[in-house]
Structure formats: C-alpha cells, structure tokens
C-alpha cells in the first residue's frame, strides 16, 4: 500500500481560497484513496515555529484538523493524523539529511530567496526547512504529496536527496517520490482551482492580504461574508460570462458559487448565460456563501476536541512505528547503529 502525504500549516485562520483550493481537494483525494493507500495528514508544527511563537499553537493544531473533518474527511484505519513534533524521527532524519544537502542547493530555493530577500541575516529555519520537509516525506516512503505549485521545488529537492542517499549506499533506502508532473496529474482536476482576491481579481485571494474586503475568512459571520461579495470588484462589460482573463471578477463569483453550492461550474455558467445584471449575480452568490458558512460553522462547532485528540493518539502511534523503522535503516547505513 503506498502512501499519500500532506501537511497543513497551522498559523492562523484560513480563507475561502485555502479551503476550496487546498483543503476540499485534499479531503476528496483522501476519501477517494483511503481504501487502497495510507493517507498521512500531519501538522507541521516544527515548521510553524519558524515564523513566530504566539502561544496559540495547540489550539490552532486542533482547529486546523477540525477543518478537515468539517470539509468531509472520513476517518478510517488508513487515515493517520499526527503532529510532526510528536514523531521525533522527523528531527533525527532532518539532521542526517542536513549532512547530505548542500548550501548551494538550499540557497537556490525561491521560497528562501523570497523570505530572506534583502536581509543580512535570517533564522536558520528559513534556510533549512526544505530539508525537514524532505524528512517528513521520506520517512514514510510517500509517493504522492499533493502540494501547491509553490512547493514543487522542495519536492524536487526531496527527490534529489533520496536519490543521493540511495546512490551513496547503493541501496533503495528511500522511495523516491513521483516527479512533480505526475503529482499534478494525480491530483487531477482539483489542481487548477484558484480563488481570486475580491477587490483585485487579477490576484489570488491570500490570507496575508491586509484589505479585509479582499478575502473571505472561514470565521467570518455569514452576514459579513455576504457584504464582502456585494462589494466585490467586477467590470464594465455588462455581460455575465466565464472569462478569467477579461472578466476575472465575474468569473471568480461564478467559480465560488459553483464550489460552495457543489454544482458543476458549467451548470452555473449556463444558468447565467445571457444575463446582464451583476447585482443579481452578487445577491445569489452572497446568499449562497452565507448559507455555506452557516452550515460549515455549525458542523465545525459540533466536532469535539476529543475526536481529534483520539485520532492523534492513534495516528502518532502509527507514525512513530513507521518512521522509527525507516530511521533505523538510515542510521544503520550511516554507521550510527
């Protein structure tokens, strides 16, 4: 049984874009494959402390895992939830792989360049976290790691480190994850979802955008979210058409409506074909978003902390068993055992 692995960052609240673009597709993938694959969903809490430490980590961990359940994740014996820091093998393999990776290749990571740009000195975590990410993946022989395009370079690094170690010892110690093109193919149609910023629809919706009206948060009240839709930027063409290039604002509303009402996009597009009143479309999307959030928040409130804590206890037992076995194999070839 091969492993599909994904991690979810836990700093702060999620946007509708994160939810529809990442969480829902991942949940569908997990539900679809959990009878024939191991599904590892882990909380990269060691990655989270790179940014800052705000005292809310534990509650954010529980909350982020609840989002998966509210998105429809079905827990079964093949679905494993765990916290990275509760599986010490991640840190140990991280060190060993640090001795395999080079400063040259880590310096080339665009995420590192972006985050350290123009500064004389940054935390070492920002520099080395791709190596920890490689450990997260290689410990479990994961073949598929559904991530956004922004993480493809780190996946390539993971593949390179795995190949390097296998060559060094002339043994298949690590399973080399699939190439990024195959990863994208595996994710299928879910790959392309990109919710736009409500005020600047040329850009994607991002949680770090400061303008409140640009993004819908999962914690927004239904009324507040509806208002944000009503004030969304559209265009002056006066026709309701799906055309992301010339009418990104309108297209974004159609896209959002399809996703929150779970209707095929083509069906939503046909419903509005020939219509010209943007106000009518906005009212419909606003009502649908409000209904969606109300239902989602009610589902979320019903999930007990205990459900998550019990799943973590089971998941961490599984993860420690699998990861320690792999770590021992690595320690042996390196002569540490």
Binding region for ligand ATP (CB under 6 A): 9, 15, 17-18, 21-22, 148, 193-195, 204-208
Catalytic residue among 168, 204, 228, 302: 204
Catalytic residue among 168, 179, 185, 207: 207
Beta bridge partners of residue 142, listed in sequence order: 3
Based on the residue annotation, tell me whether 299 is a catalytic residue of this protein.
Answer: no
Give me the least distance between CB of 150 and ligand ATP, in Å please.
7
Nearer of residues 22 and 132 to ligand ATP, judged by Cβ: 22
Cα 308 to the chain's mean position, in Å? Answer: 18
**What sign for the dihedral angle of Cα 119, 125, 128, 134?**
negative
Nearer of residues 22 and 97 to ligand ATP, judged by Cβ: 22
Catalytic residue among 115, 224, 283, 284: 115
Is there a contact between 20 and 259 (Cβ–Cβ < 8 Å)? Answer: yes
* Distance separating alpha carbons of residues 138 and 135, to the nearest angstrom: 5
Give me the least distance between CB of 247 and ligand ATP, in Å please.
18
* Distance separating alpha carbons of residues 227 and 178, to the nearest angstrom: 43
Count of CA atoms in the C-beta half-sphere (13 A) of 314: 14
Residue showing the smallest CB distance to ligand ATP in the complex:
21
Give me the least distance between CB of 58 and ligand ATP, in Å please.
19
Give me the least distance between CB of 19 and ligand ATP, in Å please.
8
Q: Where are the alpha helices (DSSP H) in 170-244?
A: 180-187, 222-230
Based on the residue annotation, tell me whether 284 is a catalytic residue of this protein.
Answer: no
Q: Which one, of 282, 280, 255, lies nearest residue 269 by Cα?
A: 255
Nearer of residues 15 and 84 to ligand ATP, judged by Cβ: 15
Number of C-beta neighbours around residue 190 at 10 A? 15
Nearer of residues 54 and 172 to ligand ATP, judged by Cβ: 54
Based on the residue annotation, tell me whether 282 is a catalytic residue of this protein.
Answer: no
Give me the least distance between CB of 101 and ligand ATP, in Å please.
23
Nearer of residues 148 and 188 to ligand ATP, judged by Cβ: 148
Three-state SS string across 223-260, please?
A: HHHHHHHHCCCCCCCCCCCCCCCCCHHHHHHHHHHHHH
By annotation, the residues acting in catalysis are: 115, 204, 207
């Amino acid at each position: 049984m091969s492993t599909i692995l994904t991690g979810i960052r836990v700093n702060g609240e999620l946007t509708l874009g994160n939810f529809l673009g990442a969480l829902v597709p991942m949940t569908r993938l997990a539900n679809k494959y959990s009878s024939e694959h191991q599904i590892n969903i882990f909380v990269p809490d060691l990655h989270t402390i790179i940014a800052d430490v705000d005292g809310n980590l534990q509650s954010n961990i529980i909350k982020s895992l609840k989002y998966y359940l509210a998105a429809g994740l079905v827990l079964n014996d093949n679905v494993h939830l765990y916290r990275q820091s509760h599986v010490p093998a991640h840190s140990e393999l991280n060190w060993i792989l640090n001795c395999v990776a080079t400063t040259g290749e880590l310096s080339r990571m665009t995420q590192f360049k972006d985050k350290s740009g123009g500064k004389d000195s940054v935390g070492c975590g920002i520099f080395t976290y791709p190596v920890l990410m490689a450990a997260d993946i290689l410990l479990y022989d994961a073949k598929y790691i559904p991530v956004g395009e922004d993480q493809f370079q780190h996946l390539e690094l993971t593949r390179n480190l795995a190949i390097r170690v296998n060559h060094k010892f002339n043994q298949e110690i690590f399973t080399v994850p699939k190439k990024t093109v195959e990863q994208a193919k595996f994710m299928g149609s879910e790959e392309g979802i990109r919710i736009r910023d409500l005020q600047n629809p040329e850009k994607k919706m991002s949680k770090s955008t400061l303008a409140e009206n640009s993004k819908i948060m999962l914690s927004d009240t239904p009324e507040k979210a509806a208002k944000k839709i009503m004030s969304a930027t559209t265009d002056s063409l006066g026709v309701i058409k799906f055309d992301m290039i010339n009418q990104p604002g309108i297209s974004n509303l159609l896209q959002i409506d399809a996703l929150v009402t779970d209707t095929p996009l083509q069906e939503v597009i046909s419903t509005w074909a020939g219509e010209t009143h943007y106000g009518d479309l906005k009212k419909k999307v606003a009502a649908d978003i409000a209904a969606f959030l109300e239902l989602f928040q009610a589902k979320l409130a019903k999930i007990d902390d205990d459900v998550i804590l019990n799943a973590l206890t089971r998941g961490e037992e599984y993860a420690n068993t699998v990861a320690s076995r792999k770590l021992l194999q690595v320690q042996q070839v390196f002569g540490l055992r």
